[in-house]
Amino acid sequence: MYAIELGAAEYDPGDAVTNVFGADYAMLPDTAENGVLAGAVPLAGVVRAVVVRMRRRGVAPDPIDLLGTCTLRINASVSVAIGSIVFPGGAAPVESQVVTTGLASAIAAGQSLRFFVLSPTWATTNPTLIAVHATVLIEDSAEAAAEAALRQWLVDWRPGAGMVYRGT
């Protein structure tokens, strides 16, 4: 299992705008997918979970606690729904997060990852100084194959009988 971290510098979200985040924390998010540096996938595997965290240090939104929609993007072509995250109200600094498990999206070495956050429409005041960060957890293919082989060996093993090899 390994992780790829994605995010951007703090930004002020607009109403109903999709912001794209990549692997360069010094850059602001962009509204164009090719406007941010993508995270590179080093090993083939399967995306198993994504954790998205949001922190607000500036002005609280009005109304408070509206939901934004998070999406993981693989290779600028496959969208994986992550879920909704709260744009938090209350005294700053304040945080929120969404954890999505049970994912099974295959990825190949060399592909790219970005994530999108679609902001809601606020009635009067948009929040300011929002930081967003995503951790993408990937089960690499070699690790999964070795684990499956070990599980099968444990199923096949019988006390006193030694190891039974089934072959693959």
* Secondary structure of residue 165 in the 3-state scheme: coil
- Domain containing 64 equals 2-140
| Residue 160 located in a structural domain | no
Q: Is 155 helix (H, G, I), strand (E, B) or coil?
A: helix
* Predicted TM-score (pTM) of this structure: 0.83
- Per-residue pLDDT of 21-79, as tens digits, reads 999 988 999 999 999 999 999 999 999 999 999 999 999 999 888 999 999 999 999 99
Strand 39-40 relative to strand 78-87: parallel, antiparallel, unpaired? Answer: unpaired
For 43-152, strand residue ranges (E) read 45-56, 66-74, 78-87, 94-100, 105-107, 112-118, 130-140
Q: How many domains does the chain have?
A: 1
Is there a domain that residue 136 lies in?
yes
Q: Say which CATH number the domain at 111 has.
A: 2.60.120
Is 161 inside any structural domain?
Answer: no
Is residue 166 one of the residues assigned to a domain? Answer: no
If one counts every other C-beta atom within 10 angstroms of the C-beta of residue 149, the result is 12
Residue 88 domain-assigned (yes or no): yes
**123 in a structural domain:** yes
Task: With respect to residue 154, please indicate whether it lies within any of the assigned structural domains.
Answer: no
Mean pLDDT for the stretch of residues 78-104: 94
Indicate whether 168 belongs to any domain. no
Exposed/middle/buried for residue 135 (C-beta within 10 Å: 0-12, 13-18, 19+): middle
